[in-house]
Amino acid sequence: MTGRELSAQSRGLTPPMFFFQFFLVQSDAKTVPIPKYTRNQQGADMKFNADEIASVIQKEIEQYEQKIDVREVGRVLEVGDGIARIYGLSGVMAGEMIEFPNGVMGLAFNLEENSVGAIILGDYLKLQEGNEAKTTGKLLSVPVGEAVLGRVLDPLGNPLDGKGPIVTDTYREVESPAPGIADRQPVRESLATGIKAIDAMTPIGRGQRELIIGDRKTGKTAICIDTIINQKDTGVKCFYVAVGQKDSTVAGIIETLRHYGAMDYTTVIVAGASAPAPLQYIAPYAGCAMAEHLMYNGQHTLAVYDDLSKQATAYRQISLLMRRPPGREAFPGDIFYCHSRLLERSAKLSDKLGGGSLTALPIVETLEGEVSAYIPTNVISITDGQIYLQPDLFFRGQRPAMNVGISVSRVGGSAQIPAMKQVAGGMRLDMAAFRELEAFAQLGTDLDAATQARLDRGYRINELIKQGLCKPMHVIDQVIVIYAGTHGFIDKVPAAEVLRWEGELLSYLHASHKGLWTKLNEKKKLDDELTSELDKVLEEFNRTFV
């Protein structure tokens, strides 16, 4: 008799029964009743029921679940400055999430021969050399859908506004391919900013990418905030991505949006100046993914990236730490691809895909007006036009300080309503000519009467396109005001009184001639009947204006 049989007999079990109990204990299936070997009162062995054994084995087989959790586990070789080098993750994918201890996540960034370089999406101070690093088999994703609207989030989708977690089951990968040529349609639908100078001379359409460029403190963010406020009741969902901004500045922007009721349809993604460089780098992609989800569901969205200069600086930082070869201005060679793969995701989708749109307003900051620097020229070449804000004009009181000569929209009049196209068709060229004439007139040369009249009208129109902060104007109001300016109805109004004239005209029109405004809003076009009626109203108002 073997040692195992002796051991079994010493516990009052026959060898077969011992084997059966041993088998059940080793199984990792769910708990099932185990038939017990019992004795009768006299201590004699009772006969064991074979059917009971068979039924238990059958249940074991049916409830057996084979779950194999296969993960690669590596070790952290070194960590610091927001990056980590890991040994042992030979099968990791580019862009795959890596799990570290203490709940810290990373992103596979460099796939090298002997190690993997990962950027840390969180507090890298919690990690140390020798920590385990596990692959997850997943790419970086963020929560999307209606649940994120009205919230303030970090680039990973974690709430920062104290309103509780984001309740959604829908997630979208941060990096996804841009729509192809066949999936797009031309940009023909207007996205009104509410700013007269932009809607008249450099119009923006749904699905367009319009760069806003200029030195610091020239009103770049103000244009975007006005545009977001103007999307109220239009159905356009807005996503404002703050990259590298001061937290106090972002708090002020959120409060402004909340004051004007714009937070109801706006999501703010914040990677502030104190955020790690990896979070600043992925923030625009996270905002784009959230907007993209709504676009593919047939909705219209607007994404503001404020600003891509700081995102490029963050990308340069982590690339240099990863020892990628530096290029011009120490930026890595793929910095152009970094921005193009973000901005190419903006599109007006074909009707087959639902006709949704994603409009992008990237912001780039220049130094001393240097628009020919590396990052500005890169982004200018990717976008469909740019609005250049000039410091000299800003300090002279021209708000927005748009340089009409350099600013352009490559979509042009196709992104304007017909009425705006009629009244503002030659306005951009006229204003560019006025700037040259103004510079010439400063030499003190005597001008003929026609040139002087042209100069005087230019001064008045220049005053007319000035606009206060957070005061977007309805496009029909813009049409009426610009029509009055370009057709000589303000020629006799002193230049200093033009803005007061504009305000009183609109009040008079809405109070006494609401029918004209309604007809123009319905037709979106100035025909002969509406033109003659508008002329009469303007002449009548000018007689009463003091």
* CA–CA separation, 407 and 385 (whole Å): 7
Q: Are strands 408-409 and 105-111 parallel, antiparallel or unpaired?
A: unpaired
Distance of CA 507 to the CA centre of its chain: 37
Give residues with Cβ within 8 angstroms of 51, minimum separation 6: none
* CA–CA separation, 204 and 114 (whole Å): 49
- Inter-residue contact 229 to 194 (CB < 8 Å): yes
* Dihedral of alpha carbons 510, 536, 457, 431, sign: positive
In single-letter form, the type of residue at position 45 comes to D
As given in the structure block, the two tokens for residue 411 are: 């979509």
Q: Sheet containing 236-243: which strands, arranged edge to edge?
A: 152-153, 266-271, 236-243, 300-306, 357-365, 211-214, 385-389, 408-409
One of 75, 341, 410, 457 is an active-site residue; which one?
410
- Inter-residue contact 197 to 371 (CB < 8 Å): no
* Catalytic (active site) residue 410: yes
- Inter-residue contact 86 to 77 (CB < 8 Å): yes
User: How is 180-245 classified by DSSP, letter by letter?
Assistant: -GGGB----SB---S-HHHHHHS--BTT-B-EEEESTTSSHHHHHHHHHHHTTTTTEEEEEEEES-
* CA–CA separation, 150 and 172 (whole Å): 18
Helices 277-295, 308-321: axis angle to 10 degrees equals: 130
* Dihedral of alpha carbons 44, 49, 55, 57, sign: positive
- Inter-residue contact 283 to 271 (CB < 8 Å): yes
* CA–CA separation, 394 and 397 (whole Å): 5
Catalytic residues: 410
